[in-house]
Structure 1
């Protein structure tokens, strides 16, 4: 048990440069939330639902993280900062990283019968801050969901999802094979497909703006009337 705790703390330290020691990680709210969830989930599976809910409410009060006792969580889940909601039928694999204000939400069945209605996260998934993953969908292994993205469809393995509604970006294999990408969003790498001209989308837009400015200047020059020539002959004064 002690060795598994050390391995868990080391896995968090490998993904977070802030802590100076393992003792500091022991104060993380995400670690406490996951630990208390293990107890609540054990009570939930034993059909002691009230006690499981009681521990869930205490954990939410203490950490600001709401994990339903029925959720299934694998090894080494790292919830950074907190304020996260994980639904009852959510399933989380190993070495998943979840940043602040993330929701693993469900869809409400029209017939009112409970069932699988929350997401399944495969191993090594990264969810950026504010991401909303909704419904009984599957997020493939090593997939990344960018900050504030809303995902309602299955995510392929290794894909990066951004936007509202989230769409996949073209990420090279050598990028998603990296061990860990903070916040689920690549830095210093293109997030949009490269255009046909070989430049990025931003460069294409800047070229279009420059062309439009030149066209507007040409139209203004064509419509501006030329100034009338002024006479240089001096006026004669009338004699009274």
Structure 2
């Protein structure tokens, strides 16, 4: 038992930079207290002491602000950060090393008996206020964004955001084309001194990723047109080989966005306090 308690406390240190020492975590972590109460209540529940288990879980909810049904299944090193408003339903299943932030609900969408709550595999991270509803499965290592509402299965290593939840990042095998595209984007960002389209390998914005793919397509078309022009001129045609006009790096609309944003922020400040 003491080894399990020590393991839980160490899991807090590994995921909470605000944790300073053993005693602070022991006495001031409602997520830990809720999990320890749950384990006791779960044993009572499995032994058939349903009323006592539910009563003790209600007391634990009063004390911690976290509601965990004693019939739920929770693995090792689960970390509930802040915790207030977390609700975990009766048939919910949580794997090892899962992280839940405040306001998370693992709820059901049906009043029918049986499996009606979600299953979270190992290393899942669920952001504050997220709602995961129904007998769905969140794959290993997946991440659910804050305030998302997830009602469908999520594959392993994916990132889900929005209402309803949509996958904005999914684990994909790395191939030579992806590597080359990433190098081209890095070269463009280095040439102009910044990443004009905020496209990076870990960017969760689906719009930015779509723009990045369009840019890859445009650069590929430019290269092919240049090759075709050279080949036609070699055969005697008179195809213009002039390069496209260079981008005007002094154009405020293109690369001086930081200065424009600063100007806009100053205007916003002056609107509220002209003396600043």
| CA positional deviation for 1:172 | 5.9
Query: How has the CA–CA distance of structure 1 residues 22 and 173 changed in structure 2, closer, same or farther, with 3 Å as cutoff?
Result: farther
Give the 3-state SS of the residue equivalent to 2:167 in structure 1: strand
Unaligned runs of 5+ in 2: 174-199, 217-252, 254-276
Match of 2:93? 91
Distance 2:60 2:5 in 1: 19
1:198 pairs, out of 206, 215, 225, with: 215
| CA positional deviation for 1:189 | 4.1
Which has a greater percent of helix?
Answer: 2
Q: Deviations over 1:122-155 (max 9, x none)?
A: 0000000000000000000000000001000000
Distance 1:72 1:198 in 2: 47
Match of 1:124? 123
| CA positional deviation for 1:197 | 3.3
Match of 2:43? 42
Distance 2:156 2:23 in 1: 35
Unaligned runs of 5+ in 1: 175-186, 200-209, 211-240
Give the 3-state SS of the residue equivalent to 2:45 in structure 1: helix
Give the 3-state SS of the residue equivalent to 1:9 in structure 2: helix
Match of 2:11? 11
Distance 2:99 2:30 in 1: 14
Match of 2:65? 64
Distance 1:118 1:166 in 2: 16
Larger C-alpha radius of gyration, 1 or 2? 1
Give the 3-state SS of the residue equivalent to 1:168 in structure 2: strand
Distance 1:150 1:132 in 2: 5
| CA positional deviation for 1:60 | 0.3
Query: How has the CA–CA distance of structure 1 residues 164 and 58 changed in structure 2, closer, same or farther, with 3 Å as cutoff?
Result: same
- Alignment: residue pair count: 186
Match of 1:236? none
| CA positional deviation for 1:161 | 0.2
Higher RCO structure, 1 or 2 (CA under 8 Å, sep 6+): 1
| Contact map agreement 2:123 2:140 (CA 8 A) in 1 | yes
Query: How has the CA–CA distance of structure 1 residues 36 and 136 changed in structure 2, closer, same or farther, with 3 Å as cutoff?
Result: same
Give the 3-state SS of the residue equivalent to 1:6 in structure 2: helix
| CA positional deviation for 1:171 | 4.9
Give the 3-state SS of the residue equivalent to 2:33 in structure 1: helix
What is the alpha-carbon root mean square deviation over aligned residues? Answer: 2.1
| Contact map agreement 2:86 2:104 (CA 8 A) in 1 | yes
